[in-house]
Structure formats: C-alpha cells, structure tokens
Amino acid sequence: MAVTLDDIQRAAARIKPYAQRTPMLTNESLNQRVGAQVFLKCENFQKVGAFKFRGACNAVFSLTDEEAARGVATHSSGNHAQALALAARMRGVPAYIVMPENAPQVKKNAVAGYGGQITYCEPTLPAREAALRQVVDATGAAFIHPYDNERVIAGQGTAALELLADAPDLDAIIAPVGGGGLLSGTSIAAAETKKGIRVIGGEPEMADDAFRSLQAGKVLPSDHPQTIADGLLTSLSERTFSIIQSHVDQIVTVSEQGIADAMRFVWERAKIIIEPSAAVAVGVLWERKIDLTGLKVGVILSGGNVDLRKLPWAKR
Amino acid sequence: MAVTLDDIQRAAARIKPYAQRTPMLTNESLNQRVGAQVFLKCENFQKVGAFKFRGACNAVFSLTDEEAARGVATHSSGNHAQALALAARMRGVPAYIVMPENAPQVKKNAVAGYGGQITYCEPTLPAREAALRQVVDATGAAFIHPYDNERVIAGQGTAALELLADAPDLDAIIAPVGGGGLLSGTSIAAAETKKGIRVIGGEPEMADDAFRSLQAGKVLPSDHPQTIADGLLTSLSERTFSIIQSHVDQIVTVSEQGIADAMRFVWERAKIIIEPSAAVAVGVLWERKIDLTGLKVGVILSGGNVDLRKLPWAKR
C-alpha cells in the first residue's frame, strides 16, 4: 500500500489535463547569496496558487465514477480546501468543505468561488471532525485528507518529478514540511528517480514537530505552534512520518527571521510572490545551517498565497 | 538608418549569452477578468529586473573594441543606468553614470553595485546634460541614450521576438510607452514578423504625450507628468515618434486606478511582481477602452522593480 514512483507517474498523467506544468526559474542573485546553484520549482504559479492542487486533483480523478458522483469532502480552511473545490468542479462533482466559522472571509470567498459547498463549525478539532462525519454520512462523499492520503501524497510528488525533468543533475532537493504530504511525495519521487540525491525538509523552528519526531523516532506533534509560515502549522501523521523517516536525509529548521528575509529576497530579486511556507524551503539555503556550497539544489516553492496588505516587512 | 527586423535578430544573437531568455506565462484568472487570452512576457525576470538590459546590452556589445575600451556613459537614474552598468561590466569596460544628487539612495546603490561610476549633478536637465558632456569629453566614452538610440531600440525589440516565438498566433501585442524605445522595438519586431498583428501602446492618462503626439502628428512632450508608473515619465523623441507613427496601431491611455488595480491583480493571481509601468500594459486590457474580446494578446511586462515598502494598496 506504500506510495511508489509508479503511483506518482500515474498521478502525473492523470492530472496533466488540469494542472499547470509550472516553470522552473533560476536567479543569479539568489545563487550568489546562498553559494549554491538554485532551481526554483514555481508551485506559486500552480492552480489555486499552491502545490495542493496536484494532490487534490489526483485524489478526485482517482475516484470511480460512482464514488465521484457522491462528491468529496474535507475539513480545511487553507489551500487544500480551494484545491479540492476546484478539482471537484473540474470533474463536475460536489465538494463539501467544513470550515470553522471564524476562518478569514477571504478564504471562505475563495472556496465558495471555486464552487465548494461550505459547512461551518465551531473552531475546534472535535467540532470539525464531527461536522465532517455528518457531511460524509449524509452525502456519501469521499473524505480527502489534506496530507494523510496516499493519492494526495502521490499527486504532491509530481512537482518533484517535473523539477527533475527540467533539472536532472540536482544534488539535493528541498521541500517545506508541515503535515508532510509534499515532502513525502517529493522524497519518493526524488529518491526513486535519482540515486544519491539528498532530500531535505525545511521546517520553521517554531513548528518543528518533524525535526523532533525524526530525532525521537516517533511522531511528536506540535502543540499550538506559532509561525508566519501558516501553511506549516500541522504535524506529521504516522503515514507521512514513516515515509519521511525512510526517504528524507534530514529536516533543517529555519528561524522566523530567516523565513521573512528569504521571502523578501525572493520577492525583490526573483520578482515572484511566494508565501512564507515556500520561503522556509529557501530559508534552508539562506541560513546555511547545513553546507550545500556549490551544489545544484532544487527548491519546491510550495505556493504564493499571501495577504498583500500584511507583509512581514511593511512599515506601519 | 532605420531599425529593421534584421537589426533586432542580430541584437538577439548578440545579447543571447548575457540576457535572460525570459519565460512567457499565462493565467486563467486574468484571461477571465479581461475576456481575452493573455500571454505575459516576463521582462520582470530579466537581468536588473527590466527589459532595459536588452537595449543596453546590445548597445554595449555593438561597439568596436576600441570604442568599448573608452567606456559608455548615460544620464539616467532608473533601470537604464543599472542595465548599462551591468552590460559594461560584462564586457569589462567602464560605465559612467550621471545621476542627480537627489536620486533615491537605493538607485545609487544599485548602479554602484553593478560597478557603475557615478557622477552627481544638480537635479535639472541642463545640469545633467552638461555633466554628461563633461564625462564624455574627459573619457571618450560612448553616450548610450536610454531610448533615442537605434541599437537600444533594436535590443528592446528582442523581447517581442521571443514572445512571438513562444506564442506565434498572437492577434495583438501591447507594450507600455514612455520614451518609446520598447514600443518602437516591439512594433518593428511584431509588424515585420507577423502580418496583420495589432500593435498597441499602453500609456498612463497622466503622462499621455505619445497619445497626444500621435493625434497631433508631431511630438508633444509631457510637462511635469505625475503617475505611479514612474518608468513612463519621459516623452517620445523624434526617432521613436516616427517609428511608432508608422508601426503602432494605437495608443491607449490607462487611469491611475486602472494601473494600480491591474498591478494588484497580477500580483495576487499570477504571483509575479510587476512594476506600475508594466501594469500599464495590462491596464489596457483591464479597462477595456478598446475591444480585444476573445483575442490572443501578448503583453510585455516591462519590469518588476518596485519598493516593497511603498505599495499602492498598502494600508497605512
């Protein structure tokens, strides 16, 4: 039942008509600043502005027609909810999204804009799970977890597959890690495509459950983490922990300042908008806690969804 | 002595080892918003963050070794100064840049950072021209005008050449117009590459000298224009007026609000950083003063150099 390179390749074929084949960019200023040759995989240009569309799309289009007809469901207020809503709309089936009442209006609008049917709940995990169960019981919809799902993981791995097609000589590849879906898919795709490639997870110091879990040899969830990388607040599941433990070389933590500085540098020099979670992956190079000097390093820029009125460097 | 497609093709070959072959991006949200199929030519990813590098590079590398050895000079405080300094450094020759004392420190630093040798002058046009003459007399450097120069115009035209290679079916192409170097090069490249293509200049309403000049049939410079598109404050020269008059179908003006709205939309949806001058070209589609519905429209995004602390939509 483990996710394989074959699953990822089939996911790539499955999502091809729907997902963006995102470009890879390079930037000389960034190379000079970090002392490595960096290859940026621009998932900020992906549908809904984040890699999440890959996994959601693969999950939705993996369903049989009967399954799909009953719709899909999830509890999420972030990029996964938007991604699932869009993928469901592309397949012409309903997406039921459970969101806390206090989710930002902009996120509610985004999900509704992609045709998602929102059920509001109290902003607690038990309330979310109860509301989700209710929706699934009532509709028969397939629950698509944001990361603890093999089809989602296989979909997320397609970004690394494309990056390795564009830059086959990579010595290392870095992806941010929150719940671990992207890093899991990336690590399987990379390790099975290119022998000896180093796979590195970038994680906020302030939400370092993956770092601590790998050290401890068991899942140690974060307790109310606080970081500007708000896409990385979730903790590993047993499934993603197990994949990461066997395929990822190391997790490197990045300070809040490092995240903000790397983000700003990429905006200013590479002229692309990346969200703080994506900047965590750049931050691994930026802070140089590990030596990647002179290497060819792929970086998965996970997304570009930020509130332009709330930038970490704005003067107020 | 007129610039031809052949000049632009030779410029493309000349600058190829130095300039970025910038990508073309598409964005479904933008297409839907403006009702056309838009192909964005990302000169914001060009060296020094703007198309200006193409023209400066072509001019610098067109010089004979003897000419080049004496260096190049210009009076500019904007992207052209940085572009010229970088191109000169790549050729290993000096660049003398005349700048007003009151130019922003960030621009002084940028020029110096590319190795430009700065001469400061009073912030008036006569003082600039006098200082430039002095530098040229003292050094024998070749004066490279930011736009009133055929090699510069030929270089700027290479962006449209690449765009038409990536999107050969374009019905129309839009470029912003300030001094007219980019629009001149674009119009020659487009009109001579693809029969019947519409070439449109986008200009701020608040700096509409090209619009008025074409109506009047003679050069009518702007008098102290004020617009957030600070790259488009300059007026046409006789040379660029003449090229634009014969190759450009029309100039469309864009309101300040339209510039800011189009800029923000591109940031938020396409996840790329464009400067207000680039947003003027998008603004032509955005405001729909002319009907481009359903057409394939190329847009030259001229650059991405903005002060991230001074965004037109920031709450203060």
Q: What ipTM was predicted for this assembly? A: 0.90
Judged by CB atoms closer than 8 Å, whether chains meet at A45 and B316 is answered as no
A39, A87: one domain = no
Alpha carbon dihedral B203, B205, B207, B213, in 10-degree steps, equals 70
Active site includes B184? Answer: no
| Residues facing residue B41 across a β-bridge | B24, B300
Give the count of domains, chain A. 2
Q: Encode pLDDT of B269-289 as tens digits.
A: 999 999 999 999 999 999 999
Strands A172-176 and A142-143: unpaired
Give the domain-ending residue among A143, A167, A200.
A143
The half-sphere exposure of B241 on its side-chain side, counting CA atoms within 13 A, is 18
Is pLDDT of B17 > 70? Answer: yes
Closest-CA distance, B309 to chain A, in angstroms, reads 5
B286, B260: one domain = yes
Cα nearest neighbour of B304 on chain A? A271
Give the domain-ending residue among B96, B121, B143.
B143
Task: Say what the pLDDT of residue A104 is.
Answer: 83
* pTM exceeds 0.90 for this model: yes
Task: Say what the pLDDT of residue B316 is.
Answer: 41
Is pLDDT of B207 > 60? Answer: yes
**Catalytically annotated residue among B41, B52, B107, B108:** B52
The closest of B66, B63, B65, B43 to B54, measured between CA atoms, is B43
List, for chain A, all residue ranges whose pLDDT scores fall below the cut of 50.
Answer: 316
B215, B270: one domain = yes
Is there a domain that residue B291 lies in?
yes
Q: Find chain B residues with C-beta within 8 A of A269's C-beta.
A: 49
Mean local confidence (pLDDT), B9-15: 98
Q: Is A316 exposed, middle or buried (0-12, 13-18, 19+ CB in 10 A)?
A: exposed
Task: For chains A and B, count residue pairs whose Cβ atoms are closer than 8 Å.
Answer: 52
A84, A128: one domain = yes
Task: Say what the pLDDT of residue B1 is.
Answer: 60
Task: Say what the pLDDT of residue B312 is.
Answer: 74
Is pLDDT of B314 > 70? Answer: no
Closest-CA distance, B42 to chain A, in angstroms, reads 10
Q: What is the crossing angle of helices B5-15 and B52-62, to 10°?
A: 90
Work out the percent of chain B whose per-residue pLDDT is above 90: 91
Cα nearest neighbour of A310 on chain B? B314
Q: Find chain B residues with C-beta within 8 A of A311's C-beta.
A: 308
Is there a domain that residue A247 lies in?
yes
Mean local confidence (pLDDT), B93-119: 92
Task: State the residue range of the domain holding A207.
Answer: 5-50+150-301
Task: Say what the pLDDT of residue A1 is.
Answer: 60
CATH code of the domain in which B80 resides: 3.40.50.1100
Task: Say what the pLDDT of residue A316 is.
Answer: 41
Active site includes A242? Answer: no
Give the domain-ending residue among B143, B166, B194.
B143
The closest of B41, B276, B279 to B159, measured between CA atoms, is B41
